[in-house]
Amino acid sequence: MQQPTSVNPATSATPPASRKIALVLGATGGIGNAMAQKLLQRGWEVRALHRRAAQTAAADSSGIDWRQGDAMQQADVAAAAEGAAIIVHAVNPPGYRNWGQLVLPMIDNSIAAARVSGARIILPGTVYNYGADAFPDLSESSPQNPVTRKGAIRVQMEQRLRSAAQAGVRSLVVRAGDFFGPHMANAWLSQGMLKPGQPVTAVTYPGKRGIGHQWAYLPDVAETMMQLVEREEALAAFDTFHMQGHWDADGTRMVGAIGRAAGRADLKVKSFPWWLLPALAPFVPVMREMREMAYLWRQPLRMNNRRLLKVLGSEPHTGWDQAMHSTLAGMGCIKE
């Protein structure tokens, strides 16, 4: 199924330029938190929806306006989005549980809220949308024929945004590689490769040497989203951009960056125990998700950022060593 990259922007209603209110759904997660911080730095008023808003606000001094509510409740999302210019949809079910039942209703609620407020929805995209027929080089128009349950749901999310754009609900999808960063808990680096809170003595690498893999540093992804938001006039009602991020051509650059940041020139590299996942998958949701994404480590796939460069001129990019030092410090694996 061929995926066009945009919908005519003439169908959308652009919000007043002076309105700098953003609603972030999933602000306690990796990309949601990174985006919230970027928005605050740019002088935006940032609201965040949380089921335990009072407790979260008491522990947070960033300036986020925490609103009591649930992303599964349309009225809660609509109330929090009142007057907002953008809705960052970075929310996922905790622990990957009940994806099929929760993910699509949540995007529907964001669409409904955006229809009333006039906000543009910002969605962090994934490579799960693609199957092997689109590999190894992915562009925004590559066919989306997913081979996994999770990928099929991600495709449906974007299809719903595309359909909503025909009725004036604007959205933006920024697709990047595997996330890493200082506040990313649900990621390969923190769940499968290293042990958070412990000194780095070894790294468990999921891929094979010689197989390329694409990574994305969270602050770079958030900065890219912000720069695109600030170029509203260049965006279609539904628009998609790919990031190049951090390309590891043979599986050694990520490991090398970890070793340098940890001060371990003798860093041991262990193979990921894929053989163990079938036994654990029925009982441990994260293992089931890892097993489903195994195909992404068996062959190289790379997104080009030509469309992004045409709009931004350059892609925000933090070097491997600086990005990894910040990441390991955030994970409690090294001291600042």
Residue found by looking up tokens 């911080």 in the block: 37
DSSP, res 310: H
What pLDDT digit, counting tens, does each position of 90-141 carry?
A: 998 766 667 778 999 999 999 999 999 999 999 999 999 999 899 999 999 9
Residue 110 has, within 13 A of its CA and on its CB side, a CA count of 34
Q: Taking the domains of the chain in order of start, what are their residue ranges? A: 21-178+215-245+299-317
Q: Which pLDDT score, from 0 to 100, does residue 14 have?
A: 44
3 state SS of 67: strand
Q: Which residues on neighbouring strands pair with residue 182, listed in sequence order?
A: none
User: So what CATH class is 21-178+215-245+299-317?
Assistant: alpha beta
Residue 335 tokens read as: 């001291």
Angle at 291 (CA atoms; ends 30, 329), nearest 5 degrees = 30
Residue 224 tokens read as: 């890219």
pTM, entire model? 0.92
Q: Which pLDDT score, from 0 to 100, does residue 209 have?
A: 84
Counting as low any pLDDT under 50, the low residues of the chain are: 1-4, 8-17
What whole-number distance in Å separates Cα of residue 186 and Cα of residue 30?
8
What whole-number distance in Å separates Cα of residue 306 and Cα of residue 310?
6
Cα–chain-centroid distance for residue 5? Answer: 19
Q: Which pLDDT score, from 0 to 100, does residue 11 have?
A: 38
Q: Which pLDDT score, from 0 to 100, does residue 53 have?
A: 94
Residue found by looking up tokens 């001129």 in the block: 313
Q: Which string of DSSP letters, residue by residue, matches 106-162?
A: HHHHHHHHHHHH-PEEEEEE-GGG--GGG-SEE-TTS----SSHHHHHHHHHHHHHH
